[in-house]
């Protein structure tokens, strides 16, 4: 069995100045409440749920910016609250850094330097800063646990707003669906919630009592919100997450997994608004849909996007320049001379967005981040001691995270095919959490006293004679020993 190399983490780094390392994973899990973690917790809730946009007075104070400044300032004054691990040595943050470099190059070589530069400075830089702050704030399993809770709380707020605040309306389709969602639309909401659903299930594996009931209510709220969104891409992603949960999860019986998946589907069916199943039925006949025939439908947009990528293969159109290309260099301009409105259409596909705006290298790096987020934690799981399945709460959380983090990435990978989410916070939050998973696992190994390695599997006696290389090595050892004694 292959081994995991880990480095010991000093007590002052892993647990902060007030608690020794031995206390990090030995007791029950609890939220870390130092000023840095509290600021990042609230920042995550605001970033993911956008709850501040519901309160105009609160939005005027720009709470996200204030929290970033507070977190950066506190981290600068108290560096001991950060991980000592160089997060850029780990593959998720290396890929994020590579995307940042490619984004800057795309601005210089794309179709609009000003448009890309404004997006980088006004939005993308904030997303990257947020992800970096999350990554360097995770020192051990309790920090990881704290930020998982932050995302789940965000989803619970979004669920509450979707059920009791946001209105629903019918606009040219079969289904009555959510409307007036501030920053998100119905399809965007599906991506956010399908990442939160597996993270909620992760916490259910370690929580008991009142917290467990809150998580079950959140799970039901997510399922009902998915129904009210009326998103076909969200429904496909919901099915993908359910299948992934049945296949990938270890440490939970098949009966429990099936029961949870069926329960969430039942809640979705109960919460489905009028016309929902007629809308989902159109998935089976795509050629009859406007997305297949319309000049601004998904099929035509994808064909034009692939053309942009071939036209600008190295650096792309420039980050956030896809819609601008649709109104400046698009082949559909030839048809616009005959009249009709000209739409600066967004890509409606995160993979197409990454490839068209950053070129082929950007597409490869972005897809590596998504695919790596699915398979890398599963590889890590094979290297963890099997005893962690039923170990301490910290050990159970880490072992379960290697199953549920990949499912969360599936929850992003599938519905993001139908929305423009390549530069949004969700994927970068998950990259930071994957980085934190590696750091927390290393800290847990150091605390467990495994000597920096996972315990190897014991060889199983087979009754066979050793091979000729083994016999030859033993013979040479005896000869060398006899020669040394004779000397």
- How do residues 59-83 score in pLDDT, each as one tens digit? 888 899 999 999 999 999 999 999 9
pLDDT for the residue 186? 87
pLDDT value of residue 173: 62
- Whole-number pLDDT of residue 178: 84
CB 225 within 8 A of CB 377: no
Dist. CA 472–CA 467, nearest whole Å:
9
- What band does 97 get if pLDDT is binned at 50, 70 and 90? very high
Provide, rounded to the nearest whole percent, the portion of the chain with pLDDT above 90: 68
Q: Within a domain: residue 416?
A: yes
Average pLDDT of the chain is: 86
- Span 378-394, pLDDT tens digits: 999 999 999 999 999 99
Residue 399, pLDDT above cutoff 90:
yes
Reduced 3-state DSSP string for the chain: CCCCCCCCCCHHHHCCCCCCHHHCCCCCCCCCCCHHHHHHHHHHHHHHHCHHHHCHHHHHCCHHHHHHHHHHHHHHHCHHHCCCCCHHHCHHHHHHHHHHHHHHHHHHHCCCHHHHHHHHHHHHHHHHHHHHHHHHHCCCHHHHHHHHHHHHHHHHHHHHHHHHCCEEEECCCCCEEEECCCCCCHHHHHHHHHHHHHHHHHHHCCCCCHHHHHHHHHHHHHHHHHHHHCCHHHHHHHHHHHHHHHHHCCCCCHHHHHHHHHHHHHHHHHHCCCCHHHHHHHHHCHHHCHHHHCCCCHHHHHHHHHHHHHHCCCCCCCCCCHHHHHCCCCCCHHHHCCCCCCCCCCCCCHHHHHHHHHHHHHHHHHHHHHHHHHHHHHHHHHCCCHHHHHCCHHHHHHHHHHHHHHHHHHHHHCHHHHCCCCCCHHHHHHHHHHHHHHHHHHHHHHHHCCCCCCCCCCCCCCCCCCCHHHHHHHHHHHHHHHHHHHC
What is the mean predicted confidence (pLDDT) over 150-175?
A: 87
Calpha distance 166→159 (Å, rounded): 10
Q: Give the structural domain span for 145.
A: 13-448
Per the domain annotation, does 99 fall within a domain? yes
141 vs 30: CA distance, rounded Å: 10
Compute the average pLDDT of residues 452-457. Answer: 42
- Provide the pLDDT confidence category of residue 234 given band limits of 50, 70 and 90: very high
Calculate mean pLDDT across residues 280-303: 87
Q: What is the pLDDT of residue 473?
A: 52
Q: What angle do CA 411, 158, 279 make, to 5 degrees?
A: 60
Min mean pLDDT across 220-224, 360-364, 455-459 is at 455-459
CA dihedral (3, 8, 13, 14) in degrees, to 10, reads: 50
Confidence grade of residue 86 (pLDDT, cut at 50, 70, 90): very high
Confidence of residue 172 (pLDDT cuts 50, 70, 90): low
- What pLDDT is recorded for position 183? 78
Residue 463 lies in a domain: no
**Tens digit of each residue's pLDDT (9 = 90 or more) over 337-366:** 555 678 899 999 999 999 999 999 999 999
Query: The whole model's pTM is what?
Result: 0.86
Q: How many Å apart are CA 143 and CA 89, to the nearest integer?
A: 19
Q: How confident is the model at residue 182 (pLDDT cuts 50, 70, 90)?
A: confident
Q: How many domains does the chain divide into?
A: 1
Confidence of residue 291 (pLDDT cuts 50, 70, 90): confident
Res 210: pLDDT: 94
Higher-pLDDT residue of 12, 246: 246
Average pLDDT over residues 296-309: 93
Residue with the larger pLDDT of the pair 333 and 204: 204
Q: Which of 44-58, 239-253, 295-309, 465-479 has the lowest mean pLDDT?
A: 465-479
403 has a pLDDT exceeding 80? yes
Residues 6+ apart with CB under 8 A from 165: 54
As to burial, measured by CB atoms within 10 angstroms (0-12 exposed, 13-18 middle, 19+ buried), residue 407 is buried
pLDDT at 480: 46
For residue 337, what pLDDT is reported?
59
pLDDT reading at 325 higher than 90: yes
Question: pLDDT (tens digit, 9 = 90+) per residue, 104-136?
Answer: 999 999 999 999 999 999 999 999 999 999 999
β-partners of residue 337 are: none
**454 falls within a domain:** no
**160: closest CA among 103, 251, 228?**
228
Whole-angstrom CA distances from 236 to 190, 211, 248, 389, 460 are 10, 29, 18, 30, 44
> Could you tell me if residue 76 is inside a domain?
yes
Residue 283 lies inside a defined structural domain of this protein: yes
Say if 223 falls within a structural domain. yes
pLDDT at 256 over 70: yes
Nearest to residue 49, comparing CAs of 211, 165, 184?
184
Question: Does some domain include residue 125?
Answer: yes
Given pLDDT bands bounded at 50, 70 and 90, which one contains residue 318?
A: very high
Residue 294 has pLDDT above 80, yes or no: yes
d(CA 64, CA 45): 10
């Amino acid at each position: 069995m292959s081994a995991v190399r880990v480095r010991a983490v000093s007590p002052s780094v892993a647990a902060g100045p007030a608690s020794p390392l031995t206390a990090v994973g030995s007791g029950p899990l609890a939220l870390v409440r130092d000023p840095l973690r509290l600021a990042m917790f609230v920042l995550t809730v605001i970033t993911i749920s956008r709850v501040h946009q519901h309160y105009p007075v609160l939005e005027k104070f720009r709470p996200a910016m204030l929290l970033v400044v507070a977190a950066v300032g506190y981290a600068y004054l108290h560096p001991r609250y950060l991980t000592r691990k160089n997060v850029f040595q780990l593959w998720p943050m290396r890929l994020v850094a590579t995307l940042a470099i490619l984004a800057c190059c795309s601005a210089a070589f794309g179709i609009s330097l000003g448009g890309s530069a404004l997006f980088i400075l006004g939005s993308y830089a904030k997303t990257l800063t947020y992800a970096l702050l999350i990554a360097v704030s995770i020192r051990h399993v309790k920090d990881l646990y704290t930020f998982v809770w932050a995302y789940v709380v965000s989803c619970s707020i979004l669920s509450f707003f979707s059920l009791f605040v946001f209105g629903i309306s019918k606009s040219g389709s079969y289904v009555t669906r959510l409307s007036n969602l501030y920053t998100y639309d119905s399809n965007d909401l599906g991506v956010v919630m399908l990442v939160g659903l597996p993270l909620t299930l992760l916490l259910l594996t370690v929580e008991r009592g009142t917290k467990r009931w809150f998580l079950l209510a959140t799970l039901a709220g997510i399922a009902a919100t998915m129904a009210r969104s009326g998103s076909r891409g969200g429904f496909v992603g919901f099915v993908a997450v359910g299948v992934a949960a049945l296949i990938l999860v270890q440490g939970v019986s098949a009966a429990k997994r099936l029961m949870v998946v069926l329960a969430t589907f039942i809640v979705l069916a109960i919460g489905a608004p009028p016309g929902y199943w007629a809308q989902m039925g159109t998935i089976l006949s795509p050629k009859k849909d406007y997305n297949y025939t319309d000049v601004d439908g998904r099929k035509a947009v994808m064909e034009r996007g692939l053309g942009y990528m071939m036209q600008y293969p190295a650096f792309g159109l420039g980050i956030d320049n896809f819609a601008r290309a649709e109104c400046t260099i698009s082949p559909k301009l030839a048809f616009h001379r005959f009249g009709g409105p000209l739409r600066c259409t967004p890509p409606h596909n995160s993979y197409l967005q990454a490839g068209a705006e950053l070129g082929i290298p950007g597409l490869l790096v972005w897809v590596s981040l998504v695919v790596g987020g699915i398979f890398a934690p599963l590889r890590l799981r094979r290297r963890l001691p099997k005893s962690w399945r039923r170990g301490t709460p910290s050990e159970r959380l880490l072992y379960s995270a290697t199953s549920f983090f990949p499912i969360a990435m599936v929850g992003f990978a599938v519905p993001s095919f139908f929305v423009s989410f390549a530069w949004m916070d969700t994927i970068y939050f998950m990259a930071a959490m994957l980085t934190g998973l590696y750091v927390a696992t290393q800290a847990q190994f150091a605390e467990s006293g495994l000597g920096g390695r996972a315990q190897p599997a014991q060889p199983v006696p087979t009754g066979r004679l050793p091979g000729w290389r083994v016999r030859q090595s033993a013979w040479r050892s005896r000869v060398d020993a006899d020669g040394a004694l004779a000397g």
